[in-house]
Copies of this chain bind each other. A is one copy, B any other.
Amino acid sequence: MDPRRLLIFREVARSGSISGAARALGWTQPAVSQHLRALEREAGCTLLLRATTGVELTEPGRALLARADAVAGELHVAREELAELTSLRRGRVRLAAYPSAAATLVPRAMARLRATHPDVDVALTEAEPPEALALLESGDVDLALVFGYDDPGDDPAGGRALVWRPLVDEPVDLMLPPDHRLARRRSVAVADLADQPWIVGCVRCRAHTLRVCATAGFEPDVRHESDDYVVVQNLVAVGLGVALLPRTATEAFRHADVVVRPGRAFGTRTYGTVHREGALGVPATAALAAVLATG
């Protein structure tokens, strides 16, 4: 049963005549007449009695009209809901972000989004980039905020069918204990750190540190490992080693006793958004991606 015919039938019932329905639909009378004939053939019985004064529903016609009204109602609700979602009067988007971003730029972006679209809900999941990509691919989040280092072969999208949009390049800084001999220098060369104990972070941060050291001609003496930039800074602060941390980490938390030294040779880290192909077609996702990009 063609549901469009049901709606045409409903219009006929509403206006009380085939000609009236045709006018309401912007069609000619025979067009509606033919649809009704087809509908009655499908229905297997007469739905309305024709007279020169108009038409009148039969019992099956009245039964069918109730269903047609219900269908029209559902279509109306569907249009309403879609309009709400596209105009961002409603919506929900799930975001995965790495810890230091989740502590800094993500809350700011969420606040900006809420200011313009208070009924768009953002669900945040803290996750390191590899996990974030997995969440993206499994459909558990709509958008991921990840980072990559300027090292060859470090592709944030992981070679998968995902769209990577880099947003900001941030410098990587050296963390030194306050009483360290190098802490007095304005700039520190990587080679100066060859004999130091090192503290490294997550897998990819560790790889970056190793690469930076390799470029300077040595393999670092890795003593401690932690994803957590608060932990890393506390280790550095008490003199247990040196470390490289991206700028966001020290923006999120800055240990009073840690000396931060910038340096080109420490490299840069780039953060940005990743999403599945086409995911920005969902207004709420696009809005969050946009507000993250302007942050």
Give residues in A with beta carbon < 8 Å to B. 1-4, 6-7, 40, 43-46, 49-52, 56, 58-60, 63-64, 67-68, 70-71, 74-75, 77-79, 81-83, 85-86, 91-93, 139, 142, 161, 276-284
Question: Are B51 and A161 within 8 A (Cβ)?
Answer: yes
Inter-chain contacts of A278 with B (CB < 8 A): 46, 49-50
Which of these, B71, B81, B161, B284, contacts A74 with CB under 8 Å?
A: B71
Whether B85 and A49, one on each chain, are in contact in the complex, defined by CB atoms closer than 8 angstroms, is no
Q: Are A50 and B82 in contact (CB under 8 A)?
A: no
**Which one of B49, B81, B92, B161 lies within 8 Å of A64 (CB-CB)?**
B81
Q: Which of B50, B86, B91 lies in contact with A43, CB distance below 8 A?
A: B86
Q: Which residues of B contact A46 (CB under 8 A)?
A: 278-282
Contact, CB under 8 Å: A282 / B86: no
In the assembled complex, the Cα of A277 lies from the Cα of B56 at a distance in Å of 12
* Cβ–Cβ < 8 Å partners of A81 in chain B: 60, 63-64, 67
A4 to B280, CA, bound (A): 26
Q: Is B86 a contact of A44 with CB atoms below 8 Å? A: yes
A75 interface neighbour in B1, B60, B276, Cβ under 8 Å: B1
Cα distance A112–B188 in the bound complex, in angstroms = 107
Q: Nearest Cβ in chain B — how far from A83, in angstroms?
A: 8
- A75: chain B residues at CB < 8 Å are 1, 3, 6, 67, 71
Give chain A's interface secondary structure class.
Answer: helix
Q: Is the CB of B43 within 8 A of A279?
A: no
* Leading 8 A-B pairs by shortest Cβ distance: A46-B281, A67-B78, A3-B3, A44-B86, A70-B74, A58-B282, A60-B85, A63-B81
A44 CB contacts on chain B under 8 angstroms: 82-83, 86
**B1→A45 contact, CB < 8 A:** no
Chain B residues with CB under 8 A of A92: 59
- CB of A7 within 8 A of CB of B3, answer yes
Q: Which residues of B contact A6 (CB under 8 A)?
A: 3, 75, 78
A40 CA / B282 CA spacing, docked (Å): 11
Q: Indicate if the CB atoms of A277 and B85 lie closer than 8 Å.
A: no
Smallest beta-carbon distance A270→chain B, Å = 25
**Residues of chain B contacted by A60 (CB below 8 angstroms):** 81-82, 85-86, 282-283
Chain B residues closer than 8 Å to A281, beta-carbon distance = 40, 45-46, 58
CB-based contact A59/B284 at 8 Å: yes
- Least Cβ distance of A18 to chain B in Å? 13
